[in-house]
Structure 1
Amino acid sequence: MKKPRSRLANWLSFNQHRKRFGAAAVARSIDGVDLQQLKQRRVDAGIPVMTHGSKKELQTHLDDLRQEFSGQPEMNYYHAQLIVLIRRGVDVAKHFSDFETLWLQERDFLLQSLSTRWLISAADTFIDHSTDALLKALLMNAVILINTIKLQESERYLHRMEDVPVDPQRQRSLQSERLALFDGVSGFAVGTDDTLRNMRWRLDALCATHPLGAMVLEVFERVQREGNVYARFRAMHTRDKTAWWQD
């Protein structure tokens, strides 16, 4: 497996230097911002367009992101700017400190305002740069959860996402027989299984040990709503006492 580039290799890479051209001006533009004002102001950049990948030129990439955040609070765009600067190696210690301060001060606002995509980007940033081992371990739960769903739903896309009706006989068999999957792992008894409820209890207890553990719980709640296997199985669940989501 290929290893991540070392700091020295990144420093010597022309491509990495190219990605930082103009970074000083960007850093100055967001230094000492008023967080309360950023919460009140909205980004005005026309019709929102989701970015796909990133441009090598820093300012071009940030302009694309600004359009993505059009109509959203300026704080969301500021949050993204910090992540971009950190990932491109621009005064990482300072910008990560600003990023950490932002989350500790505005956690509840960010949890409600950011998309799941940017919550996971935030989790990745803490995992890469925080010195808090507990926090890094907690946030890895959110990353693994979303990446697993990305794989599973992408596979469904490859198979044309044909939502054929559930086979009632197979559903009944999951309630009465063990479905062997791999290496001793068995299937999920759709409708009644307590596996996810018990996992949720453990997740709640673990996330309560750190203020930013709330990020993991927010992501877990969001995946119960639509567009993935958690939401589809929630819709088929019939036993209230083994529910794994918050009402």
Structure 2
Amino acid sequence: MTDDDLTYPGGLPALLDRYEGRRDPFNFGPESLPPLDCDLTALTSAIVPQSKSEKHSDDARTSWAWKRRDIAREFIGNSELAYLNGLLISNLRKRDFPEHAPALFRRIWKEEADHLIGALNLRWLVSSVQTFADHGDTPTQREVGHALRMLFGMMKLYEFERTFSGKAPDDAFGFGRRVKARLPLDMESFSLKSGGLDINLIAPTWEQAQGDPVIGPLACHLLEELNREQGGVFRRLRIMRERRERQMARK
């Protein structure tokens, strides 16, 4: 097989080159992250000012100075703790980071989960739970983080591609135009009547998350939000099941 036949020419080595190319650590210069024992309660009540997003004459010319200003733009008017969570995530995606960053990330979620769940939008909540995949302190934290990183990542790819169909996320497909074609990797077709793949993807991870006091509140909140979401593949499958059931009842 030639590279022309591959979705990703060059295979794994090429993928790793691109992956690693985005993981260069920040140059902090004279700056640093807050210490591990910083006062989290104070950070929950402190508000991020506009000035944190602006460049000042005494700012160091480092990649970190640029990044922290960029992140600050999203958190103006929000709490300093929510902002700190964003700063930690941006570091923990890199190959290297301040030594205490993983422990500080876990500490803020252990001690201030309620505040963060209320302060962060869903995009940052998803980024937070995905960060546990690599930096969780327990097998459960890492396993739940990995599972939700894959689940939400594949949802993002699929839902983005589906927008080109001309249908909104809450607009389920009808039955009349289905193409009976080979599924990738010769997978068996999904059964609307009896298929349980969607439940198999969600239920074990949800149950596992409930047993961990650090990732549990965050993961369960996101899965509850997924359950309430009016659009997306899982809600559309429910709609299609109900339509199919009504069709069969009329026969």
Q: State the TM bucket, normalised to the shorter chain.
A: 0.5 to 0.7
Matched, 1:90 2:97: yes
Total equivalences in the alignment? 212
TM-score (norm 2): 0.66
Amino acid at match of 2:69: D
Gaps of 5+ in 1: 49-55, 172-177, 240-247
- One-letter amino acid of the structure 2 residue matched with residue 122 of structure 1: S
Identify the range of structure 1 (66-75 vs 212-221) with the bigger mean alpha-carbon deviation: 212-221
Contact 1:142 1:219 in 2 (8 A): no
Q: Which runs of 5+ in 2 are unaligned?
A: 1-11, 54-61, 244-251
Cα 1:70/1:226, change in 2 over 3 Å: farther
Kindly provide the amino acid, as one letter, of the partner of residue 221 in structure 2.
E
CA apart distance, 1:156:
1.6
Q: Secondary structure at the match of 2:141?
A: helix
**SS of the residue aligned with 2:31?**
helix
Are positions 1:67 and 2:70 aligned together? no
CA shift, 1:138, in A, is 1.4
1:232 to 221, 229, 236: 236
Q: Which residue does the alignment assign to 2:218?
A: 215
Identity of matched residues, %: 23
Change (3 A) 1:237 1:115: farther
Cα offsets for 1:83-138 (capped at 9, x unmatched): 2334452322x121111111111123223332333233323332223352232111
Question: 2:211 is matched by which residue type in structure 1?
Answer: T
Is the counterpart of residue 167 in structure 1 residue 169 in structure 2? no
Q: Counterpart of 2:150 in 1: which secondary structure?
A: helix
C-alpha deviation, 1:143, in angstroms = 0.8
Return the offset for 1:165: 7.4
Letter in 1 for 2:188: V
Taking the aligned partners of 2:146 and 2:89, their CA distance within structure 1 comes to 17
2-structure distance, mates of 1:237, 1:111: 32
1:184 CA drift (Å): 4.8
Whether 2:113 is the aligned partner of 1:107: answer yes
Which structure 2 residues correspond to residues 91-170 of structure 1 after superposition, within 5 A? Answer: 91-92=98-99, 94-157=100-163, 159-162=164-167, 166-167=173-174
Corresponding letter in the other structure for 2:217? A
The residue type equivalent to 1:221 in the other structure is: E
What amino acid is aligned across from residue 209 of structure 1 in structure 2?
A: G
Letter in 2 for 1:90: F
TM-score by length of 1: 0.67
3-state DSSP class of the match of 2:32?
A: helix
More RCO (CA 8 Å, sep 6+):
2
2:204 corresponds to 1:202: yes
Question: Which 10-residue stretch deviates more, 146-155 or 32-41?
Answer: 32-41
Aligned to 2:4: none
Q: Deviations over 1:203-228 (max 9, x none)?
A: 33322232213333322222341442
Q: Which has the higher mean CA deviation after the structures are superposed, 131-140 or 143-152?
A: 131-140
In structure 2, do the counterparts of structure 1 residues 168 and 36 end up closer, same or farther at CA, with 3 Å as the change threshold?
A: same
